[in-house]
């Protein structure tokens, strides 16, 4: 009889926060039925939202939430990358700069002076940028917040040594699958579903509302054609631009309509 095999070491998981609202890492805690099973299969080395325990690195998998918005962020993300075998950025902040990237089209110093009694206390970079602009990112999970089912899928596939297989098709397809009435056709709403990556289950159109693109661009979108459709619905061009310049406004496909930072016309 062969000797029993030594139990396989659990991969070490770290969850890091940068400029963000914590909503995406909260989706990990929201995996209520799966959480204990995940804690059995991963060694949680660093997850300040859940525990004050912090083990020294390196780790096998780092989930990174938030954008790079300060000089210290820019240093810290390099440390996180150096200590992680696989790095997955989670959410619109980490994958596209988030809503705080609206500053990229504005004068941050003017905003600080207008809003804060002591603007000198805020160490903010003039831009908010995604994690991939600073270090190599292995995979991205999109959304604001991310979908916990997609997060679970990525974690399970990591345990299986498999590549994540998240969909890249548009929200429109989800609407058709679920039998939702199209809010562009039926209500004349400026829905970004035709160019937005699925993953939310067509949440907003399912409630009769227009998608505002929080999962970012779908694979091979045509934002210019959708912008023309919005023009035909009667939107002013400035409103069309603003439509594309939301939580995912810095995503390159949305910039084709929303404009490049520095060319402020919204
Ligand atoms: S992507 Fe949205 S939910 Fe996630 S941290 Fe950023 S603002 Fe919060
Ligand atoms: S329908 Fe659009 S805005 Fe609404 S949750 Fe889904 S991707 Fe986000």
String of DSSP letters for 12-28:
EEEEEE-BS-SHHHHHH
- Kindly indicate the confidence band of residue 195, based on its pLDDT and cuts at 50, 70 and 90: very high
Residues 205-233 have pLDDT tens digits of 999 999 999 999 999 999 999 999 999 99
Mean pLDDT, residues 101-124 taken together = 93
Mean pLDDT of the chain, nearest integer: 94
What is the pLDDT, as a whole number, of residue 4? 60
Structure confidence at residue 3 (pLDDT): 59
- Decide if 45 contacts 35 (C-beta within 8 A): no
Q: Token pair for residue 210?
A: 């227009």
Residue range 16-45: mean pLDDT, rounded: 96
- CA–centroid distance, residue 192 to ligand 2 (Å): 8
Peptide bond into 58 cis (omega under 30): yes
Question: Can you tell me the distance from the alpha carbon of 145 to that of 90, in angstroms, rounded to the nearest whole number?
Answer: 9
Q: Are 235 and 190 in contact (CB under 8 A)?
A: yes
Average of per-residue pLDDT across 252-266: 84
**Chain segment 57-105, per-residue pLDDT in tens:** 899 999 999 999 999 999 999 999 999 999 999 999 999 999 999 999 9
What's the CA gap between 119 and 112, in Å, rounded?
5
Ligand 2 pocket member 146 (CB < 6 A): no
pLDDT of residue 57: 82
> Are 16 and 80 spatial neighbours (Cβ–Cβ below 8 Å)?
yes
Pocket probe mutation, ligand 2, options 193, 202, 215, max atoms within 8 Å of Cβ: 215
pLDDT, residue 110, reads 94
* Ligand 2 pocket, residue 200 CB under 6 Å: yes
Average pLDDT over residues 42-64: 94
**Whether the Cβ atoms of residue 63 and residue 28 lie closer than 8 Å to each other:** yes
| C-alpha dist (Å) from residue 261 to 108, 117, 174, 266 | 12, 27, 32, 11
Ligand 2 lined by 214 (C-beta under 6 Å): yes
Percent of the chain with pLDDT over 70: 95
Q: How far apart are the CA of 187 and the centre of ligand 1, in A? A: 29
**Is pLDDT at 257 greater than 80 in this prediction?**
yes
pTM value is 0.93
């Amino acid at each position: 009889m062969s000797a029993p095999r030594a139990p396989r070491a659990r991969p070490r998981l770290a969850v890091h926060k940068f400029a963000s609202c914590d909503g995406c890492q909260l989706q990990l805690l929201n995996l209520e039925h799966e959480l204990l099973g995940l804690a059995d299969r991963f060694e949680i080395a660093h997850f300040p939202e859940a525990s004050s325990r912090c083990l020294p690195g390196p780790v096998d998998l780092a989930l990174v939430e938030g954008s790079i918005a300060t000089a210290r962020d820019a240093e810290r993300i390099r440390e996180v990358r150096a200590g992680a075998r696989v790095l997955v950025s989670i959410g619109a902040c980490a994958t596209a700069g988030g809503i705080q990237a609206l500053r990229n089209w504005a004068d941050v110093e003017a905003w600080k002076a207008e809003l804060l009694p002591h603007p000198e206390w805020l160490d903010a970079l003039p831009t908010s940028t995604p994690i991939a602009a600073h270090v190599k990112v292995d995979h991205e999970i999109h959304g604001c917040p991310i979908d916990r089912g997609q997060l679970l899928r990525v974690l399970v596939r990591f345990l299986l040594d498999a590549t994540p297989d998240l969909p890249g098709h548009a929200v429109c397809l989800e609407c058709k699958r679920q039998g939702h009435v199209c809010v562009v056709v039926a209500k004349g709403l400026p829905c970004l579903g035709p160019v937005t990556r699925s993953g939310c289950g067509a949440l907003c159109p399912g409630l009769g509302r227009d998608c505002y693109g929080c999962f970012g661009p779908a694979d091979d979108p045509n934002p210019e054609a959708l912008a023309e459709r919005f023009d035909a619905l009667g939107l002013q061009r400035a409103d069309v631009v603003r439509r594309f310049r939301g939580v995912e406004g810095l995503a390159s496909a949305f910039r084709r309509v929303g404009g490049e930072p520095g060319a402020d016309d919204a």
